[in-house]
Structure 1
Amino acid sequence: MREGSAYIRTDLAIESAQDFSRGGQSLEGVSVRERDVENGEIHITHVHIKDETGARKLQKPVGRYITLETPYLAKEDRSYHQEITSALMEELRHLIPDINTKKILVVGIGNREITPDALGPMVVDHLFITRHLVREYGENSKVTRGLGTVSAIAPGVMAQTGMEGREVICGIIHETHPDVAIIIDALAARSVSRLNTTIQLTDAGISPGSGVGNHRHGLNRESLGIPVVAIGIPTVIDAATIVNDTMNSLMEALEQRGVYQDVYDAVRSFDHQEKYLLMRELMAPEVANMFVTPKDIDETIGRISYTISEAINSICHPIEGDISCPS
């Protein structure tokens, strides 16, 4: 992915890594490993950006990026969502060892008034909050036995509060002294197939709004002073990317039929970035800056936010029974 003012926007490390793989380029400073769980219905990819060389190549901070992919994430199937929850819990344990013994601050980034951006606040709505109970009754009382210490905040966006999210979160950390922050945010993807089907976890933190070109201060260990794990799901995609993908499908269909071979050969010589930039130039300015989300986003965000909250609730409070709040 080239540097510059116009680039294919994505928050997913796996998409950046796949671009280099497709181009046959070396991924020095980056390791990638993959596996399937639940009979291949959940595909998990670990991308580890080990040093600054890898960070420059993928334009992502150094850290571990774990991607869970499944077409069933947005489906209305509670039994399958339980399988996703279990996989998500396992990966969270990799990033936060002994998580159930730590004081956790969950931060739901986003604007709850805009559905594609409401993932973070909606996850917070479903969480089982316990910090106040632990402070009131102690850690080993009958009330709190088996419960972790969880607090949460949905700080809103600057247009609503006049404050950077980092300012709000740093103030909370200063007063409450959590051991680790789990930050939930909606992401932008490069591929339509990843919308609402992919979960990314990373210990590299997050830059709110970066996927849609609205950069804010990063939320990471350096800026917050405690370990940070970010959980995100892509809910929007750049309109130019959709046009680019459609044109690729069209050119492949024409090539199979032997039609406009010269045009196909010319376009095929462009790399992924060059084709994207061409689409942006051909599109009307008001369309090129649009972001698109699926029409059933309201129901989808509701289900996905509940699945994420179940994973956090279950891993932080390892007691018998379902303690999640109903959707």
Structure 2
Amino acid sequence: MNLDFYRAFSISVDLALEARDIIRGATGREIPGVEERVQQLPNGKVTTITIKDKNAEQVMGKPMGTYVTIEVQRLRFKDPEVQEEISQAVAQALTALMSAHLRPQSHVLIIGLGNWKATPDSLGPKTVEYIPVTRHLHKYAPEALITGMRPVSAVAPGVLGTTGIETVEIIKGIVQNVKCDLVVVIDALAAQSTERIGTSIQISNTGIQPGSGIGNPREPINHETLGIPVIAIGVPTVVSAATIANQAIQRYCQNTGAIFNQEISLNSIRAVLSYFGGSLTVTPKEIDDLIENTARIVSTGISYALFPGIPKESFGFYTS
């Protein structure tokens, strides 16, 4: 698919890896100012994309910074060995991105973005359920803490439609009042390939813009808006119906030898999606299991990064 397709349907590309592939495919060359590094895992791979200058930022449509994407097809399944491998990969990426900002007593605020009433958008709130929270214990029951546990708090602020308050306004209020040093936000993303649903995790040091993947962008949550570093963790849970339809038409043409015409494809898809205001997102029927599985993996990775050296079996004592 070319850039005109995404512009035609106002589709935002959440994953830096996909944005890189789309632009590189459109231009037929590498993108100046974008650096890539790939690390193989036993069951997948980790791709680190660094956007190094303003020109690359403009071309990619992503803020300058580092984007780490963990890709594992078996991430969809409840395989303890794979879950542990990916949790460790999440922890390694987080540790690298947080190292410049984190001290032993730094207060970290975990934010679970999204709507807990809508399953595809509930990854953030569900992940927060499994995060060990310790800030209150540092003040009221320090004897209950294991040595080396820093103050951590967590909240799922909901969405504008249920609270009437912009999410960033809620987070700003918390940051100003509890004086935290670092924010980690978790959110569901939109992918441009069905293969990435529940199989990819993106971690970046650039913050996040809630709702952008479904065409409803809110004010960004980043260093500029909060005044402190923000690490973002996202997992694709939906894909645009327009993308699926266009890919299906292209595949049909490839298999039958027919000539693919982008304009005809666009007009046909527009006609079908006109009943939905021109926009429709799709999620798999097993999304409940994908959210639960991914939330546990991400929360364990966060816990490993924030509480290094603390036994995994101890985390449960500090969760809700």
Same fold (TM over 0.5): yes
Q: Corresponding residue for 1:129?
A: 133
Q: Secondary structure at the match of 2:231?
A: strand
> Could you tell me how far apart the structure 1 residues matched to 2:30 and 2:88 are?
34
Q: Corresponding residue for 1:191?
A: 193
- Determine if the alignment matches structure 1 residue 229 to structure 2 residue 206: no
Counterparts of 1:51-200 in structure 2, within 5 Å, are 51-97=53-99, 99=102, 101=104, 102-138=106-142, 141=143, 143-200=145-202
> Could you tell me how far apart the structure 2 residues matched to 1:171 and 1:30 are?
35
Q: Secondary structure at the match of 1:147?
A: coil
Structure 2 letter corresponding to 1:298? D
Deviations 1:145-203 (A, max 9, x none): 12121101100001111100110000000011111100000000001110110000011
Q: CA deviation at 1:137?
A: 4.1
> Could you tell me how far apart the structure 2 residues matched to 1:316 and 1:83 are?
17
Partner residue of 1:250 out of 249, 252, 264: 252
> Could you tell me how far apart the structure 2 residues matched to 1:72 and 1:299 are?
13
Q: Corresponding residue for 1:320?
A: 311
Q: Corresponding residue for 1:310?
A: 300
Q: CA deviation at 1:283?
A: 2.5
> Could you tell me how far apart the structure 1 residues matched to 2:110 and 2:145 are?
22
Matched-pair contact (CA < 8 Å) for 1:200–1:232: yes
Deviations 1:273-320 (A, max 9, x none): x68744533424125411100000011101110111111122212312
Change (3 A) 1:32 1:275: farther
> Could you tell me how far apart the structure 1 residues matched to 2:201 and 2:265 are?
24
Matched-pair contact (CA < 8 Å) for 2:11–2:213: no
Q: Corresponding residue for 1:283?
A: 272
- Residues matched between the structures, number: 310
Matched-pair contact (CA < 8 Å) for 2:110–2:184: yes
Q: CA deviation at 1:46?
A: 0.9
Structure 2 letter corresponding to 1:285? S
Uncovered stretches (5+) of structure 1, i.e. residues with no partner: none
Aligned CA-pair RMSD: 2.1
- Determine if the alignment matches structure 1 residue 31 to structure 2 residue 21: no
Q: CA deviation at 1:134?
A: 1.1
> Could you tell me how far apart the structure 2 residues matched to 1:100 and 1:78 are?
31
Counterparts of 1:190-229 in structure 2, within 5 Å, are 190-229=192-231
Q: Secondary structure at the match of 1:206?
A: coil
Change (3 A) 1:275 1:242: farther
Matched-pair contact (CA < 8 Å) for 2:186–2:233: yes
Structure 1 letter corresponding to 2:56? G
TM-score, scaled relative to structure 1 = 0.89
Uncovered stretches (5+) of structure 2, i.e. residues with no partner: none
- Determine if the alignment matches structure 1 residue 18 to structure 2 residue 21: yes
Matched-pair contact (CA < 8 Å) for 2:16–2:62: yes
Change (3 A) 1:176 1:12: same
Deviations 1:33-83 (A, max 9, x none): 212122xx2211111111221111111111111100001111011221011
Matched-pair contact (CA < 8 Å) for 1:100–1:315: no
Matched-pair contact (CA < 8 Å) for 2:112–2:128: yes
Q: Secondary structure at the match of 2:74?
A: coil
- More off after superposition, 242-251 vs 182-191: 242-251
> Could you tell me how far apart the structure 2 residues matched to 1:202 and 1:36 are?
19
Q: Corresponding residue for 2:243?
A: 241
- Determine if the alignment matches structure 1 residue 299 to structure 2 residue 289: yes
Structure 2 letter corresponding to 1:299? D
> Could you tell me how far apart the structure 2 residues matched to 1:276 and 1:221 are?
41
